[in-house]
């Protein structure tokens, strides 16, 4: 077995474990950042329910491209191809993955009832690494932001400097 064959899976596992977000591109959707947990040799994601992250393009039996960023610097570390598999609720595999995910879920409104809500309303997806790593792109993958009414570039109101700086006080 070559060094690349051994180092590729180890790099995928270590980088994915340490990163809080992974960028996932499904079969038909654009890449998007998703929170995850590395458990039992694969990345696990929960979503597609009310108040949870969307998982567009991640279909059972499909593939996905995963790019992992550095937790320290934010740059791309490794990219890998994953086999997508949806885990049904009520199985031992689902229970084990949800136990790991529950500890990493921030700002959950329902606390201890979260696993039951996930079973009713969400999907649990497992991303299994396939083979070795893929080549990282040379250029930037930055995309223009989508149009939105929430913009920040507007003229400063005339009264704002006076409000912020105040008037000089006389003694």
Q: Which residues are within 8 A (CB) of 96 and not within 5 positions of it... i.e. 6 or more apart?
A: 39, 40
Strand ranges of the sheet holding 63-69, from the earlier edge strand across to the other edge: 32-35, 21-25, 63-69, 76-87, 123-134, 42-47, 37-39
pLDDT at res. 160: 81
The residue that leads in pLDDT, 119 or 2, is 119
Residue 26, classified by CB atoms within 10 Å of its CB into exposed (0-12), middle (13-18) or buried (19+), is buried
- Out of 2.30.110.10, 1.10.287.3510, 3.40.50.1360, 3.40.630.40, the CATH code matching 3-137 is 2.30.110.10
Which range has highest mean pLDDT (10-14, 109-113, 137-141, 145-149)?
10-14
The residue that leads in pLDDT, 19 or 123, is 123
pLDDT tens for each residue of 85-128 = 999 999 999 999 999 999 888 777 787 889 999 999 999 999 99
Domain boundaries, the chain: 3-137
Q: Indicate the DSSP class of residue 149.
A: S
**Average pLDDT over the chain, rounded to an integer:** 85
pLDDT at res. 169: 58
Alpha-carbon span 130 to 93, nearest angstrom: 20
Q: Under a CB-based contact definition with an 8 Å cutoff, are residues 132 and 8 in contact?
A: yes
Supply the pTM of this predicted model.
Answer: 0.77
Give Cα 86 to chain centroid, integer Å. Answer: 17
pLDDT tens for each residue of 48-95 = 988 889 998 899 999 999 999 887 877 888 889 999 999 999 999 999
Helices marked H in the chain — which ranges?
3-18, 92-104, 114-121, 160-165
């Amino acid at each position: 077995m070559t060094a690349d064959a051994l180092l590729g899976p180890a790099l995928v596992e270590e980088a994915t474990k340490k990163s809080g977000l992974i960028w996932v591109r499904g079969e038909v959707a654009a890449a998007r950042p998703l929170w995850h947990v590395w458990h039992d040799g694969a990345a696990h994601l929960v979503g597609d329910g009310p108040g949870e992250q969307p998982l567009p393009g991640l279909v059972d039996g499909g593939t996905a491209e995963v790019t992992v960023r550095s937790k320290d610097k934010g740059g791309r570390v490794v990219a890998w191809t994953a086999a997508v598999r949806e885990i049904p609720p009520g199985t031992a595999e689902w229970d084990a993955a949800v136990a790991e995910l529950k500890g990493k879920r921030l700002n959950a409104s329902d606390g201890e009832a979260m696993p039951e809500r996930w079973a009713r309303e969400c999907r649990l997806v497992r991303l299994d690494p396939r083979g070795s790593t893929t080549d990282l792109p040379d250029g930037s993958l930055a995309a223009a932001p989508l149009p939105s009414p929430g913009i920040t570039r507007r003229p400063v109101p005339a009264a704002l400097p006076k409000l912020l700086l105040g008037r000089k006080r006389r003694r």
